[in-house]
Homo-oligomer: A and B are copies of this chain.
Amino acid sequence: MGDSAGLRTGTSGTPRLDGSGGPDLSCTTLDNGLEIVVIPDRRVPVVTHMVWYRNGSADDPLGQSGIAHFLEHLMFKGTELHPAGEFSKVVSALGGQENAFTSYDYTAYFQRVAPEHLGRMMEFEADRMGGLNFDEAVVAPERDVVLEERRMRVETDPPSQLSEAMSASLFVHHPYGIPIIGWMHEIETLNRGHALDYYRRFYAPDNAILVVAGDVAPPETVPRPERTYGRNTPHAGSAGRSRPREPEPRAARLVSVADAKVEQPTLQRLYLVPSSRTATGRENYALEVLAEVLGGGPTSYLYRNLVLDAGAAVNAGAWYMGSAIDETRFAVYAVPAEGRSPQALEADLDRAVSAAASGIDEDMMERAKTRLIAETIYSLDSQSSLARIYGSALAVGETLEEVRRWPDEIRAVTRDDLRQVAERYLVPRRSVTGYLLREPG
């Protein structure tokens, strides 16, 4: 690998998240396909080292749901060079932190350590990108760990059961309807062969993004990733992501989970809407602003309407999962006040959502935009948020330019944009309503 593929040569434009200042990124790609983004942040003597793989639970082969998440577990079980637990022990001994997470569209691994240990993190992470241990002695017990995780988090937890059932009803065909952790009966059948096939298909430098954020300026001071990741063999070139598309929704759906364990009934609603990748025009930005206007905290439309004015709910909000490869979720929710049922609250929520489309004034919209942009800029204060924003954007196929333009796009949203996306997408036939109900013991 020549210097021409090195870290410095790619130093490109200056993506700035707030449209004016912001981090001075270095971007490059190694010969083996690994994309590298370096985000200088010298305020504290710390670096965040993240590797993002462009595969998540929505890429699980049919009948092997949970394999992406299972593999995330196995990534901590050692390699030929380093026994299980060694990497974690080293991070801990260096006073660092580590974590990993699996999402629908990506899987990521990160460590935060003092800058002088960055090279060592690269060694470990590059090592487990290609040399993972798949002994049966490791695989079977770890599957039991995942099964127990599912038992604890879902099987015995009514809110999680409702959430899974709502997703499965919203996405009748696309794998976003399958839980990230997988269906119990399919996790039970995952074996060494599945894990190995999956690892060989997706864990490779040409399917990964390395994000280094922190006290690494000038970028020349970053340990040369060629010396670690550069040795990994590319092979994911043809991995691809092939997912079925949702059919056009035709029917309003309602999902109910009733359980004696439920302490607080809730009302939830999901709508199938475009994501940053499927939107046309400014739709995704309008949906972001709409979620903030409707349900971004105690000054939001739903909160004022349902909690403060009507006293019908004790909480209410909205969110939009815009960062996704395929069509995605827009959610509104409300927690009924004592003595009110989710059923009774639904009419209030419907009224508020319908009214919002026309009832949002310029002032409400502008305040929401300001909050959204401010929150994101505040979040840049956290080095790991910074790394996450860039890593997740690249992992779902957004460009750094799109990340840079984000504040301007948000500012450009008009009331007409809000009205249009509300009328087009927040409609019954695109929705799944959820009731979490207390079943009389």
Contact = CB atoms under 8 A, between A and B. Distances in A.
Interface string A30-64: 00000000000000000000000000000000110
A162 interface: yes
Contacts of A256: 251-254, 428
A253 B252 CA distance: 10
Contact of A62 (B165, B183, B185, B244): B244
Contacts of A352: none
A248 B255 CA distance: 15
Q: Which of A62, A242, A428 counts the most B-chain CB atoms under 10 A from its CB? A: A62
A387 to B, nearest CB: 34
A63 B248 CA distance: 15
23 contacts: A63-B244, A65-B244, A162-B251, A164-B250, A165-B172, A165-B250, A166-B251, A168-B172, A169-B169, A169-B172, A172-B172, A172-B177, A173-B178, A173-B183, A185-B247, A186-B244, A186-B245, A250-B257, A252-B258, A253-B253, A253-B256, A254-B254, A258-B428
Q: Which of A244, A250, A253 counts the most B-chain CB atoms under 10 A from its CB? A: A250
A299 interface: no
A360 interface: no
A269 to B, nearest CB: 13
Contact of A251 (B62, B165, B178, B243): B165
A184 interface: yes
A270 B428 CA distance: 21
- Can you list the 4 inter-chain pairs with the closest CB atoms, starting with the nearest? A165-B251, A168-B172, A254-B254, A183-B247
A161 interface: yes
B169 A250 contact: no
Contacts of A248: 184-185
A182 to B, nearest CB: 9
Contacts of A184: 247-248
A251 B183 contact: no
A110 B230 CA distance: 62
A172 to B, nearest CB: 4
A65 B246 CA distance: 12
